[in-house]
Amino acid sequence: MTRPLPSQPDAFAPYRVIRRLGGGLQGEAFLALDPHNKQVIIKAPLNTGIRDRRALDTEVAALRTVGSTVAPRIQDYRPTSARPHIVMEYLHGRTVDALLTDGPLTHTDTHRLAVQLATLLDTIHTCGVAHGDFRGQNIMITTGGLHAIDFGCARLRTDSYREFHHHRQADLFHLGALLVRAGTGRPPFSDDWGKAIEDYHDSKADLGALSGAVRTVARALLRHQAWRRPSAATARTTLLRG
C-alpha cells in the first residue's frame, strides 16, 4: 500500500521524498533521495512548536553522542526550516521484530542475539544516553551489526539525570522482554491486561523454555523493582560467561 507524501513535498528540498514510512503522535519518517540519488531517511515532527524543536534537538544530540557505529549517521539537520527535520543514512537490513515474526530462535541463536542486544544497549548507556524505546521495531540488523534507530524518546544524562535514569530502567526492561520473545516467540506477560499487571508487580514473567544465562538475565531484567535490574554491562558479562 502506497502511503501519502507530505502535504508539501518540497518541504525537504533538496531531498526528494519517495514515500512515507510511518509515523506516530510526535512525528513521521520518509524514505527520500539526496541530490546524489542516495537513499536517506528524513524524520520530521508533526508540529513546529518550541517543544517539538527541542525534542528534535535532543534526538540529534543523542544520535551524535552515541555515534554511527550503533545508530544511523546524521547527514543533515535543518532545525530552522519551515518544517524542521533530520536527514539520516538509510540502514540496509531488517528489524529484530521482523526476525522474530518467524517464531522463536534456537537456544544458540537466542544466546547470540542476547549478547548482541546487551552489547548495543551497554554502548548506548555508556555514552550517557537512554534510548527510551528499546524495542524490536527500533533495532536494525545490518551487515555491520545491530543499530538502534528512532531516538525520539531518548534522554541524555547531561540534560536530566532523573529522566535519563528512568528511561535507562525502561530500556533494561525492554531488553528483558526481547530476550523472552526471542527464545519463546511470545511476550513475557499475559495478553490479559489485568493478569499482566498482576504478574508484573509480582515479578512473575513467563520465561517459557528459556534456559541458562539467558533465563537468568531475562528474569533479572524483568523485575518490578527497577533498581534491582542489572545494568546492560552486567547483563552482557553474565551472558558471555554463560
pLDDT tens digits along 201-231: 877 889 999 999 999 999 999 999 999 999 9
Whether the CB-CB separation of 114 and 182 falls below 8 Å is answered with yes
| Confidence (pLDDT) at 57 | 95
User: What CATH number is associated with residue 175?
Assistant: 1.10.510.10
Same domain, 85 and 108: no
| Final residue in a domain of this structure, among 49, 64, 89 | 89
Count of domains observed in the chain:
2
**Poorest-pLDDT segment among 16-25, 58-67, 112-121, 171-180:** 16-25
Same domain, 124 and 143: yes
pTM of the model as a whole:
0.92
Same domain, 107 and 83: no
HSE (side-chain half, CA atoms, 13 Å) at 102: 7
Question: What is the pLDDT confidence band of residue 78, given thresholds at 50, 70 and 90?
Answer: very high
Question: What is the pLDDT confidence band of residue 3, given thresholds at 50, 70 and 90?
Answer: very low
160's grid cell: 536530566
Whether the CB-CB separation of 181 and 101 falls below 8 Å is answered with no
Residue 191 reports pLDDT greater than 60: yes
Same domain, 110 and 125: yes
Give the H or E element holding residue 88: strand 85-89
Same domain, 143 and 192: yes
d(CA 30, CA 17): 7
Nearest to 147, CA basis, from 157, 155, 137: 137
Residue 143 reports pLDDT greater than 90: yes
Same domain, 106 and 69: no
| Final residue in a domain of this structure, among 89, 110, 138 | 89
Whether the CB-CB separation of 174 and 186 falls below 8 Å is answered with no
Nearest to 89, CA basis, from 76, 78, 79: 76
Q: Would you say residue 3 lies in a domain?
A: no
Same domain, 42 and 113: no
Same domain, 109 and 43: no
d(CA 83, CA 47): 8
Same domain, 76 and 111: no
Same domain, 114 and 75: no
Q: Would you say residue 212 lies in a domain?
A: yes
**Poorest-pLDDT segment among 61-70, 77-86, 104-113, 230-239:** 77-86
d(CA 204, CA 194): 13
pLDDT tens digits along 16-73: 999 999 887 678 999 999 999 999 999 999 887 888 889 999 999 999 999 999 999 9
Structural domain of 101: 94-241
Whether the CB-CB separation of 102 and 45 falls below 8 Å is answered with no
| Confidence (pLDDT) at 46 | 86
Q: Would you say residue 80 lies in a domain?
A: yes
| Confidence (pLDDT) at 185 | 95
Q: Would you say residue 2 lies in a domain?
A: no
Contacts of 211 (CB under 8 A, 6+ apart): 107
Residue 8 reports pLDDT greater than 70: no
| Final residue in a domain of this structure, among 34, 55, 89 | 89
User: What CATH number is associated with residue 73?
Assistant: 3.30.200.20
Same domain, 141 and 25: no
The percent of residues above 70 in pLDDT, for the chain, comes to 96
Same domain, 70 and 105: no
Q: Would you say residue 73 lies in a domain?
A: yes
